[in-house]
């Protein structure tokens, strides 16, 4: 399939798909039988990878982390235990961010209270 069909199937813009391709996250293939254009063609594995990328981004993975995940997941370089460890590490990072955000919220609430006290 061409990039526009891939975009429709995944809900990811063609521009973003090109970015992922330049970042090495996915790879299109040229049809050697077609000499009139240099369009890239994508397969079902690319659809799967893009869905993984979209989901990983939505839960806070960085592009570098996603690249490592794809490399490991699709090249069978990681055992199930190693995959679970990567996910556990990300969960710890998320817990840390939640704690930091709660602390920030508390500080902002205190600043807000202090400002309101100044008005009185």
pLDDT tens, position by position, 62-99:
898 888 888 877 777 788 888 888 888 888 988 999 99
Report if pTM > 0.85: no
How many Å apart are CA 45 and CA 12, to the nearest integer? 15
Q: What is the pLDDT of residue 71?
A: 81
Q: How many CB atoms lie within 10 A of CB 95?
A: 10
Indicate the helix (H) or strand (E) that contains 29.
strand 29-30
pLDDT in tens, 55-69: 989 888 889 888 888
Q: What is the pLDDT of residues 30-57, one digit of tens each?
A: 877 777 777 889 999 999 999 999 998 9
Residue 94 is encoded by which pair of tokens? 């998320």
Strand-pair partners of 30: 40
pLDDT at 18: 94
């Amino acid at each position: 399939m061409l990039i526009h069909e891939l975009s429709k199937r995944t809900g990811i813009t063609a521009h973003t798909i090109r970015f992922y391709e330049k970042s090495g996250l996915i790879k299109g293939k040229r049809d050697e039988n077609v000499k009139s254009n240099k369009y890239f063609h994508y397969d079902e594995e690319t659809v799967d990878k893009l869905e993984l990328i979209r989901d990983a981004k939505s839960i806070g993975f960085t592009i570098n982390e996603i690249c490592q995940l794809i490399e490991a997941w699709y090249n069978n370089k990681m055992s199930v235990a190693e995959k679970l460890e990567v996910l556990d590490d990300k969960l710890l990072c998320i817990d840390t961010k939640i704690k930091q955000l709660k602390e920030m919220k508390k500080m902002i609430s205190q600043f807000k209270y202090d400002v309101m006290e100044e008005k009185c």
